[in-house]
């Protein structure tokens, strides 16, 4: 595995695994119940009792950040899976069946014309704030970009000799697409999905910050920051730590994505809307 | 060139029609009764009925759609529920502060993104390169609204150097205007700066390997001439193509940044409209920003085809 020798990618992988472990073992790592309020502790700074301090309702910030990782990373994973499936399907269809290409790609162009966060905000505003609706909204934002990248590699792979050979041997469309084209177009898709994960975590945080994420008292990294916004003067720690958690997770994913790109797809450029 | 332009115009038109359709569908996606949700749960039935009739929500789908497209052609995107004015007026009112903010951030992005990218490429694999590229990847990883809040703590709470928020128009006070835009435009620009620095570095490294650069060096041109004239001009070509993306990211970022810094712009209009469920404003803002993006991309492509005669439409 060449990726194992990519130092930055390995640093990124460590960050990602740390975030994943935090989400998986939230109940072990948390010192308090993330939603239990205790007004006596309101605005208490970091101490032995509350390692990262407490918020305006006396809730433990460390425990909220730890449990918040479940929502933020869960939404990221769900978005990546959905985007991967739908984006790959659109990309394969568009790249393989030339008469589907134009209509599908015009729809993708139209979706890509909206500034990503604005479209996601509008969709969650229509459907209502919840984790599922955030996943739907983010999928709508990232499917077009993923479909385009898959399509681009399908266009190259479909002209390869082994695809012609398979066709000459009488293989059907489904077999050619799934057995020959998909496996050979996977590299750019994997790279793209790593970046989609990073952008999904960032966008989820923005949506939650705007009040369009899972409703309170469920902690998400974005809504903890939103809670702390009114108390910058008295309790800066409320905002500080969830933001660090977002940054470290996204940084990890970006470093991993860069490494995967160097290894799997050296010609791909960094462009992402 | 003529055929390229014609093809490009037609596909732009198709995309614009689709963009408008997607904006229209936002209201259709609301589960249950949009009129009830817009009016609020406590609204009396006659108020809900009034809203239903005002927005034609009692009409069948195709009638609503014709109304939407018809209104759009007349420059009418409906009326805001909470602002008691037309959607277009509400958006136009808020455009100047968003344009100023995005303009500042765009200049920061261009200057620092290009300088950092070219600098890193020229010193490839040195500590300068590593430092710049680490900063760039951090720049694309931190949430802009969080950096905004951290800067407020640093520059407005701990020391009273810059305002923590609010917007001063240039007519009220040019220096106040400038000061009110410093923190938000830095917070807004970080992501694009990182992105542009990474793209510029990758492109510059590729260009520096080209034959014509070696030829320029071989004929004894100074390093400055080679980099500044031959290489940089070629780096600008891919950079022009990401301008559309940068613009789109700036508008996306403006939703959260204008909320953090209480700037009365398009982004904040969007953020308050989602809270008040003012769907006509949400639809209008979506449509107008997407249409601007499509037209900017069209302009970029035309400019591009004009600059580079090798480009053909296919």
Nearest CA in chain A to B19: A110
Q: Which are the contacts of A40, defined by CB distance < 8 A and separation ≥ 6? A: A58
CB-side neighbour CA atoms (13 Å) of A200 = 32
- pLDDT tens digits in sequence order for chain B, 314 residues long: 677 788 888 989 999 999 999 999 988 888 878 888 888 778 888 888 888 888 888 888 888 888 889 888 888 888 888 888 899 999 999 999 999 999 999 999 999 999 999 999 998 889 999 999 999 999 999 999 999 999 999 998 888 888 888 898 888 889 999 999 999 999 999 999 999 999 999 888 888 888 888 888 888 888 777 877 778 777 877 777 788 888 889 999 999 999 999 999 999 999 999 888 888 999 999 999 999 889 888 888 887 777 766 655 44
B102 — phi, psi (to 5°)? -65, -35
CATH code: domain of residue A142: 1.10.3720.10
As a whole number of angstroms, the distance between CA A47 and CA A51 comes to 5
Q: Does A273 fall in a domain? A: no
ipTM of the complex: 0.90
Q: Nearest Cβ partner of B202 from A225, A246, A269?
A: A269
Residue from A110, A143, A213 to probe the interface with B (highest B Cβ count within 10 Å): A110
Which residues in chain B are contacts of A205 at CB distance < 8 A?
Answer: 143, 145-146
Asked if the C-beta of B142 comes within 8 angstroms of chain A's C-beta atoms, the answer is yes
* Domain coverage including residue A253: 2-264
Distance from A166 to chain B by nearest Cα, in Å? 28
CA dihedral sign of residues A214, A215, A221, A222: positive
Asked if the C-beta of A42 comes within 8 angstroms of chain B's C-beta atoms, the answer is no
Nearest CA in chain B to A122: B282
pLDDT given at position A254: 95
pLDDT given at position A6: 87
Q: Does A272 fall in a domain? A: no
Calculate the alpha carbon distances from A100 to A93, A113, A155, A176, B82 in Å.
7, 20, 13, 17, 43
Task: For residue A129, give the nearest of A210, A36, A58 by alpha carbon.
Answer: A210
The pLDDT of A88-94, averaged and rounded, is 95
Q: Nearest Cβ partner of B29 from A121, A126, A240?
A: A126
Q: Nearest Cβ partner of B15 from A110, A212, A222?
A: A110
As a whole number of angstroms, the distance between CA A228 and CA A156 comes to 50
Q: Does A73 fall in a domain? A: yes
Q: How many CB atoms lie within 10 A of CB B76?
A: 15
| Fold topology of B94-307 | MetI-like fold (1.10.3720)
Helix segments in B140-242, DSSP class H: 144-152, 174-208, 211-218, 223-225, 232-241
pLDDT given at position A267: 56
Q: Nearest Cβ partner of B31 from A128, A246, A247?
A: A128
Estimate to the nearest angstrom the gap between the alpha carbon of B211 and the chain centroid: 37
Domain count, chain A: 1
Q: Does A269 fall in a domain? A: no
As a whole number of angstroms, the distance between CA A60 and CA A22 comes to 16
Single pTM value for the model: 0.91
Percent of chain A scored above 70 by pLDDT? 96
B86 — phi, psi (to 5°)? -70, 155
The boundaries of every CATH 1.10.3720.10 domain in chain B are 94-307
Which residues in chain B are contacts of A127 at CB distance < 8 A?
Answer: 29-31
Q: How confident is the model at residue A266 (pLDDT cuts 50, 70, 90)?
A: low
Q: Does A77 fall in a domain? A: yes
pLDDT given at position A273: 34
């Amino acid at each position: 595995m060449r990726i194992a020798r990519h130092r930055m990618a390995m640093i990124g992988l460590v960050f990602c695994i740390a975030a994943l472990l935090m989400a998986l073992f939230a109940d072990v790592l948390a010192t308090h119940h993330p939603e239990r309020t205790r007004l006596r502790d309101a605005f208490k700074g970091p101490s032995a009792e509350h390692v990262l301090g407490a918020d305006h309702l006396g809730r433990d910030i460390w425990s909220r950040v730890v449990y918040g990782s479940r929502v933020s990373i869960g939404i990221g994973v769900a978005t990546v899976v959905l985007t991967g499936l739908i984006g790959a399907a659109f990309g394969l269809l568009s790249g393989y069946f030339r008469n589907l290409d134009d209509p599908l790609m015009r729809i993708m162009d139209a979706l890509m014309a909206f500034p990503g966060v604005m479209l996601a905000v509008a969709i969650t505003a229509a459907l209502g704030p919840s984790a599922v609706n955030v996943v739907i909204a983010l999928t709508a934002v990232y499917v077009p970009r993923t479909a385009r990248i898959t399509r681009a590699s399908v266009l190259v792979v479909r002209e390869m000799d082994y695809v012609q050979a398979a066709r000459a041997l009488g293989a059907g469309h489904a077999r050619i697409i799934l057995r020959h084209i998909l496996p050979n177009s996977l590299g750019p898709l994997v790279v793209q999905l790593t970046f989609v994960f990073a952008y999904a975590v960032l966008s989820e945080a923005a949506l939650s910050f705007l009040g369009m994420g899972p409703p309170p008292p469920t902690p998400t990294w974005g809504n903890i920051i939103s809670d702390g916004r009114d108390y910058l003067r008295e309790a800066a720690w409320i905002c500080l730590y969830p933001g660090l958690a977002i940054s470290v997770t996204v940084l990890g994913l970006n470093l991993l994505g860069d490494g995967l790109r160097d290894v799997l797809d050296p010609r791909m450029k960094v462009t992402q809307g | 060139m003529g055929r390229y332009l014609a093809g490009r115009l037609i596909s732009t038109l198709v995309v614009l029609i689709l963009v408008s359709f997607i904006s229209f569908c936002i209201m259709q996606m609301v589960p249950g009764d949009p009129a009830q949700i817009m009016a609020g749960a406590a609204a009396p039935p006659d108020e809900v009925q009034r809203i239903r009739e005002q927005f034609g929500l009692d009409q069948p789908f195709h009638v609503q759609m014709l109304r939407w497209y018809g209104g759009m052609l007349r420059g009418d995107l409906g009326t805001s529920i909470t602002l008691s004015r037309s959607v277009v007026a509400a958006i136009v009112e808020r455009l100047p502060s968003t344009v100023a903010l995005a303009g500042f951030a765009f200049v920061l992005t261009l200057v620092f993104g290009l300088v950092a990218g070219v600098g890193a490429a020229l010193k490839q694999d040195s500590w300068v390169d590593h430092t710049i590229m680490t900063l760039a990847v951090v720049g694309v990883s931190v949430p802009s609204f969080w950096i905004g809040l951290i800067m407020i703590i640093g520059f407005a709470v701990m020391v009273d150097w810059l305002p923590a928020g609010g917007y001063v128009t240039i007519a009220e006070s040019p220096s106040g205007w400038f000061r009110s835009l410093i923190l938000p435009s830095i917070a807004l620009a970080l992501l694009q700066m990182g992105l542009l620095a990474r793209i510029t570095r990758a492109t510059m490294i590729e260009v520096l390997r080209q034959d014509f650069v070696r030829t320029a060096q071989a004929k004894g041109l100074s390093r400055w001439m080679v980099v500044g004239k031959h290489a940089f001009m070629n780096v600008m070509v891919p950079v022009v193509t990401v301008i559309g993306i940068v613009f789109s990211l700036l508008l996306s970022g403006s939703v959260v940044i204008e909320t953090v810094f209480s700037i009365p712009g398009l982004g904040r209009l969007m953020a308050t409209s989602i809270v008040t469920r003012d769907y006509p404003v949400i639809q209008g803002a979506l449509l107008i920003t997407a249409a601007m993006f499509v037209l900017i991309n069209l302009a970029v492509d035309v400019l591009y085809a004009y600059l580079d005669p090798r480009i053909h439409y296919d």
